[in-house]
Chains A and B, each alone.
Chain A
């Protein structure tokens, strides 16, 4: 089986999961799709490298996260949009989310980036704490700290969200600050 076919197999098996995880990290479905596609494009340049990694999906997730991080740093205008309290602008292919899920994505965006990534990798990607530490290049203790803080922040944020009207909160908060 040639390298491209192997990459295509990984794409078929993993792309949807990766997009869901990147969506939770970025809050922008189009951005998530683009970051994941970019990760696969980079792998296609050297498809043989897939055979060097034990877990191709984990490796692609790392690439996609790096793509999303570096793009975010270049998007100051995006910051301004989110500081206004709105979710990141979304393009075509936006998933049909329930109000609870919209609120969750919005709350995730208000977490510090490192905390947000730890929460997403643990809860959406189903990585154990040690796996999150490996993926993010930090200690297990640091991951545990981020998860505790993330849980508290989400609990407080989502409780408040429920109290003031569900998903509408994602467009009505003044204090919502997106962390890079």
Chain B
């Protein structure tokens, strides 16, 4: 049978093109509805998990230690619940009523340092949201809202690269004929703690400056090269080359003076359903700002997340580091003591099912591992005080997704919460909610 194509000029069939245009023109995008439904679904799952857990406990089949009372879930009607499995000192802070028809939506709170915090927001009235950045210079005690000089309904992703240096990636949304949405992408930067913003030049460079703070962004560095902000000019500096790892993820938990670390895979294959399977878990390290990279490929397929990236990598000094993930359902830890040049598997292990894995190292060298990132995964947490040779179960709390910031550590509650957790040592944490 010859190849068929009814779309050719000779085919005077039904007006599919016109139907397509009319149906698209009738569509009114409202991503907020999708978000609302997703949050409602998440809360329903959590409640179901809690009920199931209670039933297991009642039946005596306890596999995981019961959470302490301080890990109680936030109220179900909280519009931006704090991470469901983490302490919530002030869950009511984000649940205050707002005027009907008008509300403020917050993104993740991010730390320039332990005192300077930034959170993008949308000041929404009906279906239009005006983007802005709320800034705090006193660890969240007071906030100042600064509207961004961008069109209404623009998408904004915020990246602090220093205490007072912040970048925002903007994509405008403009309705085009036929009901489709088009947009312009550009960068805004601020060098004064978010008070003033200017459109930034994007400059490609062969290497990022030594000691530059590089944000972990999606898509990862295999698709969108690493960036930082030049604190003297406000220009956005972007590496000229992408990572050669597949499904790569920048390792944000490594101190800035320990070089650039990227986790990912060396190969990938596409299945019949368009899904990609990754092979060859690997870590790459650059000590010259990304000009050259040293790759280590692990001897087994170890992943921390079925979604993206390879192993979870953590270090507090850049020399001793841990690569944590799972092979099948078994937790694996690899350790390097030479800054990623060579790795050895440690004896520690645990059965973690298909949970997603994160890891971080406290200032005292304690390795913190969390298996399961949201309540639906029934997360568990471990620490290791003997350089990854053994693991001890510990109560759930912040710390395993910590990233170093000047003065200490920060852990985002996103996407479950707009709040952030702050710590001087990676062990003792305080909770900071966004304004309102």
A interface residues with partner B (beta carbon < 8 Å)? 1-6, 8-9, 11-13, 15-17, 19-21, 23-24, 29, 32-33, 37-38, 40-41, 44-49, 51-55, 58-59, 62, 93-98, 100-101, 104-105, 107, 122-124, 126, 129, 134, 137, 141, 144-145, 147-148, 151, 154-155, 158
Contacts and interface: CB of A to CB of B under 8 A. Distances in A.
Contacts of A11: 29, 31, 34
Given A37-B33, A95-B26, A122-B6, A1 B181 contact: no
Contacts of A54: 270, 274, 276
Interface residues of B, number: 58
A51 B218 contact: yes
Nearest to A22: B23
A16 B247 CA distance: 28
A107 B13 CA distance: 13
Contact of A51 (B108, B247, B415): B247
B26 A29 contact: yes
Q: Is the interface of A mostly helix, strand, loop or mixed?
A: helix
Interface string B273-290: 111100000000000000
Contact of B29 (A16, A20, A55, A98): A16
Which of A1, A15, A17, A122 gathers the greatest number of chain B CB atoms within 10 Å?
Answer: A1
A2 B41 CA distance: 20
A129 B4 CA distance: 7
Contacts of A46: 307
B67 interface: no
B415 A134 contact: no
10 contacts: A4-B415, A19-B23, A20-B19, A48-B218, A52-B247, A52-B307, A93-B28, A104-B19, A154-B13, A158-B14
Nearest to B307: A48
Given A9-B155, A12-B183, A151-B13, A51 B219 contact: yes
Contacts of B270: 54
A155 B13 CA distance: 7
Q: Which 8 pairs across A and B sit closest by C-beta, in order of nearness? A: A48-B307, A95-B26, A20-B23, A123-B16, A16-B27, A44-B38, A16-B24, A48-B308
